[in-house]
A and B are shown apart, each in its own frame.
Chain A
């Protein structure tokens, strides 16, 4: 078997050194009733590389890739171009096949990239500090909520009506398991500012999103002010990291904690994961943060170096008193993010953000021209919601037949709401004028 170097002769020689007769000897502690006579029944035997490749390629071929035609799906994950050099970097064995940098003398590569990542995320969000990543945006959001409750010693979390429903669900789940109250404001295309009126003296934090699930961008500074007046925290969420090149970032709105999805920068769509959760906060909250932090120090020769630090917050030291149970995070996706961000720089990011916005403006112009279509999102970056004169699911199915993947129906995200005629769609730098024309033409045919 190609991944197993031991030969039968090796095995015999090793058993002899150990003084055992066979591998069965090592499993003597397994209860009699749980010992299998041979291998696990009902499963095929090993296969060569070619056979495995054939099988998986066949499965892959049954899926429609986002690059294979006009594609407008967003809702928390975005189709962006990833430079070839970014994928090269994350395939370097030294990054790909190493572990969490627990031995800093032989992990300065990983550690320096984490330090650079943290600096980039802090700058992007306009926050003081960022950690070394979370699983994804939704779990980062949940962790932000419970962190806010720890910091304020309060138990009430208020979610905006524009928060991604998966983020809301993950947050509600974690909070309620810890006996924290979650108030969900009514679903609204342009409802982030309602948080300002909802905050009270019992509120630990309010959580708003910009751009939100319907694509609406909002300056939530007034929400932050209201929260701070009541000594509550403002948690600012984003699912499209590229937006921060153009749109008011969390720090400029007075956010105490900023969380979001970093997939848009360097990480492929990959059917939903792995992605990379971004988590940033103000300086004074650092010691309540979840997850790993990389910090600068010196080595015994006085040379600059980096280590994991403030680990007394973490589960492997603090166990039941830890700020979170997270251990493995999203290291390699963070590397993809930081490598892509390093290529972009401020100028590249700004241009990329503008191109996204312009593509979405062109898309909105084209769809708006289709009779019966109404754009619902008042201000947007690269994503917006629109109303069709027909059932959205039927429209999307017919668009699909015309070769256009037209977006996500709002009813899939909000099954309990009456939004059967709403579609949420996104455009990016990958969207061509031809894609937009194809979408508008197909939609015109359908409605």
Chain B
């Protein structure tokens, strides 16, 4: 053993003990942490407020009877609680996050800084419009970018997320049909089976019926089936089509699809979730689209925040623009911006209001910062690099995994589980990637591919990252092909082992409850 002059060992000795138990439950840097209900008390508070005078005179006796009982924590305890929990999360700032269809790209810090300027973060949606001219101008500027990038004449800015944007587009289609006197008769919406679940769910939320179309052997819309579905036209409301689609492919026949649906008297809703593949290179307005939502939290890099917030501005064609939701921003001749909030004047045909206030302003600021940083040249490069990265992964892995379809992909590479040995699942491959230090790809989606693995690298990854990832996935894929049973136990190196989802659903525990004296005694 190497010693220094004090007799202290200065080089490690190896040990074969891998599962050392600790008294604290912590594992070195990974600190054990209970629920706030287990560590706080309802008398503790981490905010110093002036002492209230306990005046409740104007409340009229409408007073809470039972206290919330909620625990408080002092600030150091609170900070440590969330810091410790944060260490159990994977994040794009930590590593590669190739979650297909989710566009997990780098979130520039400048965008966070800009959204926190008091002139954006600390203004009220209902304060006089004369005092928020800069905010309205920002919305108008972002709207101009979105309209120009898509070559569409109008954009509804208020939808709160992608699915809410779908709702905006489909409600505009509904209103247009009502205006034509066909609101009651045209109820059928065609939706490919490869679509995101939000598409059929949205159609139903708007009172439409879903008619599913299969994908063909090329992973595109089955045109024969589409034509057959459109033999009857008088009940057709429209089609909801994702392009590039969820197989990561550009819909080759998109213009013909648009023409067919228009000839049938319907409208073309395009799900813009995958706009990142074509932004700055292809304008959806040139493809015959009538409505398309844009996920600002995907293509324009506003952070996903562990599940939101999103933002889903929805571009509309000339045919649908009159039915756009209120409110919207207009620039008057005198250069003053104003909000159209009431359903009269230029909004007299609007389908109505979807939400309180004017949309996700915080996301607008971030998205515009991102857009201005890239410009027209940079956005084109964004799309090309995203597509290049995906094709690079596809090329590097096609020998060990089974590509779902032939030919180049767009921004995501899709594999089926055909290459795996019996008993090894897509799930096992995904969990093994966790041990390699990666967030898994999207699994079992789209539904049209068996055991689907959908890998979306985005443009903000370096070649070195992709090479390392491909080396890891290639090794896992070989083990999967050989039927390596150890994959079934992955992940081994994550903060938690595989979780029992069946148990969670069978007897749902959806909130913490104080242990009763019985349960305490039992322990």
Contacts and interface: CB of A to CB of B under 8 A. Distances in A.
Interface stretch (A130-138, A151-159, A223-231): A130-138
5 contacts: A77-B357, A98-B91, A325-B202, A333-B308, A345-B71
Contacts of A97: 91-93, 107, 303-304
Interface stretch (B155-163, B221-229, B417-425): B155-163
Contact of B362 (A119, A274, A286): A274
A207 to B, nearest CB: 15
A355 B505 contact: no
Interface stretch (B10-18, B250-258, B314-322, B476-484): B250-258
Contact of A89 (B59, B82, B90, B122): B82
Interface stretch (A44-52, A195-203, A437-445): A44-52
Contacts of B373: 2-3, 46-49, 52
A174 B205 contact: yes
- The list of the 3 closest CB pairs from A to B, nearest first, reads A345-B72, A60-B119, A332-B305
Contacts of A11: 385, 388
Given A328-B162, A355-B49, A64 B132 contact: yes
Given A94-B89, A274-B363, A319-B201, A247 B63 contact: yes
Contacts of B81: 342
Given A26-B408, A299-B499, A397-B130, 13 more contacts: A5-B462, A34-B255, A40-B149, A73-B127, A113-B306, A244-B64, A310-B505, A325-B166, A328-B308, A329-B309, A344-B72, A346-B71, A400-B130
A332 B303 contact: yes
Contacts of A380: 58-59
Interface residues of B, number: 206
Given A99-B99, A247-B59, A139 B384 contact: no
B64 A31 contact: no
B85 A166 contact: no
B124 A354 contact: no
A98 B161 CA distance: 16
A439 to B, nearest CB: 14
Contact of A4 (B353, B378, B512): B378
A18 B90 contact: no
A319 B131 contact: no
A347 interface: yes
A315 B201 contact: yes
Interface stretch (B1-9, B133-141, B230-238): B133-141
Select the residue from B203, B254, B341, B378 with max chain A CB neighbours within 10 A: B378
A64 B85 contact: no
Interface stretch (B261-269, B489-497, B515-523): B489-497
B205 A138 contact: no
B73 A43 contact: no
A126 interface: yes
A367 to B, nearest CB: 13
A141 to B, nearest CB: 9
A228 B53 CA distance: 39
Contact of B489 (A56, A298, A300, A405): A300
Interface in B424-446: 430-431, 434, 439-440, 445
Contact of B508 (A35, A55, A210, A309): A309
B474 interface: no
B361 interface: yes
B65 A169 contact: no
A27 B282 contact: yes
B201 A320 contact: yes
A116 B36 contact: yes
Interface string B73-86: 10100110111011
Contacts of A422: none
Given A326-B163, A328-B297, A400-B130, A119 B511 contact: yes
A115 interface: yes
A66 B376 contact: no
Interface in A332-354: 332-333, 335, 339, 341-352, 354
Interface string B289-312: 000000001000001111111110
Contacts of B58: 357, 360-361, 364, 379-380
A296 B35 CA distance: 12
B23 interface: no
B179 interface: no
A128 B68 CA distance: 13
A173 B511 contact: no
